[in-house]
Amino acid sequence: MASMCGQWLLTIFLSVEVMCYSVQFGIMHSLSVPIYEIEIYSNKCGDNVDVEYKQQANSGFHINLILVIDESHIEWKGQASILTGGIGYNFTTLRLKYMQPDVAKVIVLIYGLPRLGLHALINSKS
């Protein structure tokens, strides 16, 4: 029962849209490494931008943290939501929606944990 409840909470959490100047999905881990970074500019109010990340065949990471950081205003008037993949996957599609008339500059940072040998690494730290 707890496992089923956890899956529902995870599903609800990943589909939440948050309005603020930075958005965080997931948590940082001591073994996390940056695996993707992109700067996005938009100058239209109501503009949707989809950010897609798919790992190369030779990369072996599970996404554990996604940061959406506004660098253009004190308060970002937009929304960020995960459409596909995301935390625990090796791919994701984020939708960013801008609700301000000025130019927006947003940075998306994605961190991942190594897939192979992850259990051995975690167990060795405890």
Say what the pTM is: 0.72
> Which amino acid is present at 84?
T
pLDDT for 42: 75
Helix (H) or strand (E) holding 42: strand 33-42
41-96 pLDDT, tens digit each: 877 777 788 999 998 766 789 999 999 988 765 565 678 899 999 999 999 999 98
pLDDT for 8: 41
Distance CA 21, CA 111 (A): 19
Contact 45, 98 (CB under 8 A): yes
Question: Which has more confidence, 41 or 8?
Answer: 41
Contacts of 99 (CB under 8 A, 6+ apart): 45, 46, 77, 78, 79
Structure tokens at 38: 């992109």
Tell how far CA 74 is from the center of its chain: 21
Q: For the chain, what's the residue count? A: 126
Structure tokens at 52: 């897609």
pLDDT for 73: 59
